Structure formats: C-alpha cells, structure tokens
Structure 1
Amino acid sequence: MAESLKDKVALITGAASGIGLATTRALIEAGARVIMADRDAQALDRLVAELGAAAIPQVTDLLDAESCAAMVPQALEKTRRIDILHCNAGTYIGGDLSETDPATIDRMLNLNVNAVMKNVHAVIPHMTERGSGDIIVTCSVAGHSAIPWEPVYSGSKWAITCFVQAMRRQLNRKGIRVGQVSPGPVISALLADWPEENLRKAKESGSLIEPEEVAEAIMFMLTRNRNVTIRDVIVLPTNFDI
C-alpha cells in the first residue's frame, strides 16, 4: 500500500521551473503543501497565483550564504514542519575543461554540491526531532558515468552520489529516508550548454525526457511504506545511449 502524501509539507529548491515545478505540481495534486524555494520572485508570484494556497513562495538565492542559511528556518516559520526536502536546484557546464573559467566552476560546485550539503545539514535537526522525514536530491546519470563532454558537471554529480549514499546510512536509523533521482537529459534550460550537435541528435532520436517523467519517479519514492527506501532511481530516455 502506498503512503499518503496528504497534508505533508515539502520544501523544494529550484521549484519555479523544470523538475522542481513538475514535482511541486504532483505533490499538490496528491494533497501536500509545497514551499517553493527559488531565486526568481516574479516566477514564484505567478506560479503561486496559479497553484493556489497549497503553494507557498520562498525567495531564496542558494548562492548567497545568508539566503541559503535562512531558507530552512524561514520555511519552518511559515509551516512549522518539513516532511520532505527535495534538493533540486542546480546548474550545468558542458564542454572541455579548458574552455571553462574558474568563476563558473565555483558557481557550479557551490550550487550543485555545497548548497545541497548545507540544506540537508539545516533540516536534519528538525527531522530528527520529529523522528521522520524524506530527503530527495536531484542528481544525474552523470553522477554514475564519467561524461567526457561535461567533466565539471559530472564531477559535481559524482560528489552528490557519494554524499547521498553516505547520508542515507547516517540517517536511516533516525527515521529519515535519503535517496536521489538520477535523470538522463531532461528538456529544460540546463541543456543550453550542450554541444549543439549532441543536442540536435538527442532531439532527433527522442533521447530526451520531460520533467514530469522525473517527477513521477520522485512520487514513487516518496509514497513507499516507511520500511522501504528507494535509494536511487535512474530515469533514462529509452533511446539515450551512455
């Protein structure tokens, strides 16, 4: 029997677009409330007006240390509890390492790795006190295979794969489930840095998936009975070869 998500409270980063927005919609449809954390205040205002009272805006810039640190406390002020943390926000760099500048590398690692670790660190005391919680991280198939055209991105996702599996072992006895969803190429703005030829071939061959298909995998993870942890789901377009 699936676990109900009715009246649960989820905090999702990068919630104003892509996988974050698709998961927000799915959770609200399942009866949950969602704190939508994103730096795009205008997009949040527009989406909250569309989604209704179950969507709660949280303007957060994860690359700003103070804003990042304030996210979980501010969310708890609004809802008093967080049942689900979905660390979804991320960025992408493609191409040869020699073509990437150090500032861009720092930005990617700060968002894809450091912010995730900080967000998880911030929510652990609350979930531990309650003796229950779910932490889901959006990773990537690039966290399971060394992708030659995206070495920085792939490196950041390998780091997250290690972090998620280590935290799963730390927190499982505290009633907190930790897992990750690892999609292949998803139709989103993050693919803008893909080599044009790779993107063209992917589109022509149907080697891309929609954000909603990743959200469905996340919903499956969250609705398992508490004695079951789905530690990692890899979601690939059928025609994607890697």
Structure 2
Amino acid sequence: MSKPLQGKTAAVTGAASGIGLATTRSLIDAGAKVVLVDYDEESLARIVDELGDNAVGQVTNLLDVDSCAAMVPGILDKVGHLDILHCNAGSYIGGDLVDTDTATIDRMLNLNVNAVMKNVRDVIPHMQERGTGDIIVTASVAGHMPIHWEPVYSGSKWAMTCFVQTMRRQLSKHGIRVGQVSPGPVVSALLADWPEENLRKAKESGALIDPEEVASAVIYMLSRPRTVTIRDMVVLPTNFDI
C-alpha cells in the first residue's frame, strides 16, 4: 500500500473526534506520525493507545490563552519537528443572532478564528527555518456563501477563507503551502445545534457526508507535488442543495 506521507510529522487540533479523528487515522495510514491535540484528556489517552506508536497525545485547551500559547512548543518538544499543521478544532452556532448569547459568540470566535490565527502564527518560524511545511485549515462551505440560519458560524468561516488566502501568499515564498478544506454538512457533534427541521431534511435526503470523506480530501491536498498548492477544496454531499 502506498504511503505518500511516509516520514512526515503532523499535528491535528480537535483530534479526539469528528473530522480531526478521521484525518488523524488517514494521516497515520498514509505513513505520518501524528500529534493529536485536544482538550479531552481521557478520550485523547484512549485514542492514542488505540492508534499505536505513530500517535502522540497533546492536551491543549485552545480557549485558554496560556495553554494555546504552549501548544506548538509542546508539540516540538515531543516530536522535534513538524511538517504538517491541520487547524481543525472548531465549534458551531446556528439560529438567529438575537437568540445567541454573547458569551457563546465569544467562545466560538475565539476557537474558530483567534486560535487558528495564533496556532499558525506560532508554527511559522519553525516551518520558515526548515524551508518547508503544510498548513491546512478546516473551513466550511459556509465560508463561501452567506448561510442565513448560521450568521455567526458563517462569519467565522468567511474570516478563515480570507485568512487562508492571505497567508498562502505570505508563506509561499518560504516553501510553506497553506490551504483549506471546506466541507458541507458533516455527520458530527457540531450539527447538534442545527435547526431540527433542517437536520431532519438533510438526513432524509442524503445531504450529509462522513468525516472520512473530508479526511480523504486533506490527504489528497497534502500528497500533491510541492509545486502544487490546493488552496481550497470544497467537499459537498451530492444532494446538498445550497
């Protein structure tokens, strides 16, 4: 079996579930060693034990300023170098803006936007020194169109689309590729806040995809020749009607 990422070292945030866990499994299958970053220490320990020698746990709370700042140094202490950073951790808010409390808005923007920017900022010097690297951000199709029932979430993903496009231009001259994967609705805990009627219709019509489909897209992006950057890969359920 081909191992396109043999010898590479990756870190994935939000790695204990959903897209993060599926991507971690796919990275290991592709030959990479993976640092799984998550705040859920118990789940992380169990998964690392299950995945074996190519899985390394890193307990980080991205919403805690000090823990977030210690993430990249902690990863490098464990594995020495990093070829791939997948900024995947995120949260979701749906519904009308007026019905959303401001503390929840702050939490989501801190996780979906601020933590990603800080993690990328912290890994840049290491990748610049090595003259190579890949940074992948989990964005969303909601970052390409205004989804009226999720204005805060959609706004955060539009921010990520802009961030990825600007950072790709900043970092390409240093041998660092930057791209995003933009899924449609994925079967995961993030859909718990979807309006019930929307979720029911999506399930009935086959308008949801599994996390493994997103992971497959990430592996495709990372396994392209260094002369090619996949800036954005939109991955949609075939019956997703937006």
Contact 2:63/2:107, CA 8 A, preserved across alignment: yes
C-alpha distance in structure 2 between counterparts of 1:68 and 1:165, whole Å:
23
**Partner residue, 2:204:** 204
Q: Identity of counterpart residues, as a percentage?
A: 73
SS of the residue corresponding to residue 213 of structure 1 reads: helix
Matching residue's letter, 2:61: D
C-alpha distance in structure 2 between counterparts of 1:110 and 1:205, whole Å:
33
1:89 corresponds to 2:89: yes
**Partner residue, 1:155:** 155
Contact 1:91/1:108, CA 8 A, preserved across alignment: yes
Contact 2:3/2:29, CA 8 A, preserved across alignment: no
Shift of 1:71: 0.3
Matching residue's letter, 1:87: C
Q: TM-score, normalised by structure 1?
A: 0.99
C-alpha distance in structure 2 between counterparts of 1:119 and 1:128, whole Å:
15
* Cα root mean square deviation, aligned: 0.9
**Partner residue, 2:180:** 180
C-alpha distance in structure 1 between counterparts of 2:61 and 2:144, whole Å:
28
Contact 1:3/1:224, CA 8 A, preserved across alignment: no
Query: For residues 25-63 of structure 1, what are the alpha-carbon distances to aligned partners after superposition, in whole Å with 9 as ceiling and x for unaligned?
Result: 001111110000000000011101110010000000000
C-alpha distance in structure 1 between counterparts of 2:186 and 2:4, whole Å:
27
1:224-239 aligned within 5 A: 224-239=224-239
Shift of 1:111: 0.2
Query: For residues 183-237 of structure 1, what are the alpha-carbon distances to aligned partners after superposition, in whole Å with 9 as ceiling and x for unaligned?
Result: 0000000000000000000000000000000000000000000000000000000
Matching residue's letter, 1:101: D
C-alpha distance in structure 1 between counterparts of 2:30 and 2:143, whole Å:
29
Matching residue's letter, 2:204: E
SS of the residue corresponding to residue 36 of structure 1 reads: strand
Contact 1:131/1:176, CA 8 A, preserved across alignment: yes
C-alpha distance in structure 2 between counterparts of 1:94 and 1:58, whole Å:
30
**Partner residue, 2:43:** 43
Contact 2:13/2:87, CA 8 A, preserved across alignment: yes
Matching residue's letter, 1:209: I
1:19 corresponds to 2:19: yes
Q: TM-score, normalised by structure 2?
A: 0.99
**Partner residue, 1:32:** 32
SS of the residue corresponding to residue 207 of structure 2 reads: coil
Matching residue's letter, 2:240: F
**Partner residue, 1:124:** 124
1:191 corresponds to 2:194: no
1:218 corresponds to 2:193: no
Shift of 1:11: 0.6
1:127-146 aligned within 5 A: 127-146=127-146
C-alpha distance in structure 2 between counterparts of 1:198 and 1:116, whole Å:
28
C-alpha distance in structure 2 between counterparts of 1:197 and 1:4, whole Å:
42
Q: Which runs of 4+ in 1 moved over 6 A?
A: none
C-alpha distance in structure 1 between counterparts of 2:46 and 2:158, whole Å:
34
Q: How many residues align?
A: 241
Matching residue's letter, 2:184: G
C-alpha distance in structure 2 between counterparts of 1:97 and 1:235, whole Å:
27
Matching residue's letter, 1:143: G
What stretches of structure 1 of length at least 5 have no aligned partner? none
1:156-171 aligned within 5 A: 156-171=156-171
Shift of 1:3: 8.7
Matching residue's letter, 1:104: T
**Partner residue, 1:112:** 112
C-alpha distance in structure 2 between counterparts of 1:72 and 1:3, whole Å:
26
Shift of 1:4: 2.7
Contact 2:3/2:31, CA 8 A, preserved across alignment: no
C-alpha distance in structure 2 between counterparts of 1:48 and 1:164, whole Å:
29
Contact 2:84/2:133, CA 8 A, preserved across alignment: yes
